[in-house]
Chains A and B, each alone.
Chain A
């Protein structure tokens, strides 16, 4: 707030005239000076929800043991697939990804392992079962991807057939 100062010896009528002149010249400015504000602030709040996103690059994988690469005399026959990837984005700490299958009664064996994860640590290769097994460890607060390495195993003595698995990758607390 500013107020005009009055010098000693100034007569009131003269002061009044001066003030009038002043108001005429700068009255508007004076009003503004009374209202003047050079800074302003407000509060901006950022909230980040718990986000857990996991997806596969393709919803289906087909593997077929046809005998290619099988040596005669060898009972064990295998087929591998690394055509798909798992992607995730997790902003919570201490998380891992597990894997399980819905197929309780399997004719053949199906193994899975994470390949070259960009974050976290791949768990050892596991044989899929309905019980969740570790697939990737230490993937908390990260975004990344890895290859999904499947290996199907069949013994010749098991004959022919097919297994249809619904594989579930789940983010869980470590």
Chain B
């Protein structure tokens, strides 16, 4: 049995742990937090206005056109959905693998998932020509015959996948929060706090019977979320893979998208966690440098997977002998949108290679910068897939370019406003680390970590 690194530093008592973690909830917001929150809020409002203008005037305001029918909105949708995946992965998959280190990051990662999915979920609804009729995408009985929906359309699969994913991950997250809410309830100094968190805790009382059911449910949800999270990005990839454009119609998409999702997701987790560690120093003992290193390892691994996917795409395009397919990929790397392709390659494949070196894996500034690059790179991956495949397909007569407009920029930037607003609120109002989950592992690494 190998000696484990300590998961919680400074041999804390149960009380200390509780106090450390709930500290951000019980003190007044710091200037830094306030500043970030207000700017995020402003961005969010800007986002709402931009959407309002686009929806009321018409999709024509965005760069989408003929032949490039999908643009920023779909790209950013896939981007955010991808971000979401790391959360579920950490909380569910690593839980199944009994990875104890997950406990301290799981909560925040899940929160990220929930907010990312919320941000993403809006896009498919907004990007339609007549968003006010989006409810037609759901199979409900109606007075048109009734006229149902087309279950063969990948977009409909999306509707089911994304809404299921949103629901389940939200439930999963909330169930995890329940005992911690109880803790906060019991620490509450004033009545309002007690009532609010009391309500949120659903009257949790932590008897042994409860705990045994609770742990079973947690295990089940983890078991359900794992295939779910894989299915969601698989289905998102079907939007492209099941259609028949050269560059979209490829069988490698599902695994490639999932890997990419995890890749970008961990990128985002690292970005956020480095910030959280700065914002709330007391978390440094729980989200240790070891945690960060493990995640960086995952980033590097998945980065390699994605790189492999890029490579094999090209190989298959050449090997298939399909002229359209070949052209599509040559066009990606050498065509008018080559720049976006090479941004993608350098951000997703080259830069993460830094993490071969332990020194960089454990350096907060380095990992922060790299994670940012990863996020940029992954957005561009979706840009490359969506736009470069559409803008030159079968018939050269209707090849064209994407007409990027300032509304595209507004929508893209604005979506970050929405995400950050939610996330910052979460940091202040919810325990950012799972209290009940950290306590059992507080001794790991102190007495040779039996358990």
Q: Are these two chains actual partners, yes or no?
A: no
